[in-house]
Structure 1
Amino acid sequence: MPKVGMEPLRRKALIDAALSAIGERGSLDVTMSEIASRAGVSSALAHHYFGAKAELLQATMQHLLAELNADARHALSRAGSPRERVSAIIAVNFSAKQFRPETIAAWLAFYVEAQKSPTLRRLLRIYARRLHSNLMSGLANLLPRHEAQQSAETIAALIDGFYIRCALKQGEPDARSAIAQVTDYVALKLAQAGASTCRTQS
């Protein structure tokens, strides 16, 4: 039987091991025994905590979402202006904690698996709604509502696109370049909106 008080530590170790295994394999085609071995526990103990592999994969996805959400909330709490809120969310998605090879590979694997897993698809929808809401918390004060909605969708697509492109090529993720390119889009969109406002007023 597992030791009293060890469950949170063991569960976290198994989730970290799952991320590592998925990142190395590039897919969700990993076994519970492989994950348990990486976590330094027995396969039986892994099953005791999570039951089947699907439950561990769901917990791993939820862990990624929880970390990203916590980082986003912290970043937004420190942002002042609406523009800073948008920049903060972009930066969070490409932070050293989030935009690393194993996490990038895990996100791509979950996207692929979500095509046939309703549970993972639901979790990805939660991620998409949160990202959209966080971006709108700044964009809604910078652009007309319809344009803000469209811009939030475009920024989200750019973020997801950089993750996919990075997962499909070798080398270290270039977070600085990704942030710069997404920020360039925001600057261009806001400049266009400003020019349009000036023409309307003249």
Structure 2
Amino acid sequence: MTIHREGYKSIAIATLIFCALNVVCWWFFGASLMWLCILIFVLSLGLLLFLISFFRIPSRNYTLGENLVIAPCDGKVVVIEETVDSEYFKDKRLQVSIFMSPANVHVNRNPLSGEVIYNQYHKGKYLVAWNPKSSTENERHSVVIKKGNFEVLVKQIAGALAARDYLLPLPASSLDGIRSLDRG
């Protein structure tokens, strides 16, 4: 398991805050309010470990094949339905929606190898994921990956908690295999 490079700064800042908070607590209250220092230590350590787990990249084994599409993220499949795509394809497509909870790994992967033929960033809101308009009104990135005659549209949609600007592969770049879905 490794940590995604986007998490280095957040983890470093959180570690400094963790250390400073606990040193100050023990310095001023260590003997007189030991229970408070222990409580602050346990809670702040829990938050630090949660942040580290948020950016983790666990090792995975995949079944790869010429006509297989791998789920681009961890989470729970909440919708599999036919829908009309209005962004790129302009026709009926099968939509698979995956909800990532705060406990899931928040690194998106290439769902297949191929050529990036479309990449679009959309500014937007940061509505909660269960809001029906979050998929069309929230900040998001879209990328279309082409492999032979097969094209897949992948959307990364920011939410109220994970509100960040994602880096997607540039058009005309080639994606080789399953790895982090960014410019790295």
TM-score by length of 2: 0.29
**More helix, by proportion:** 1
**More strand, by proportion:** 2
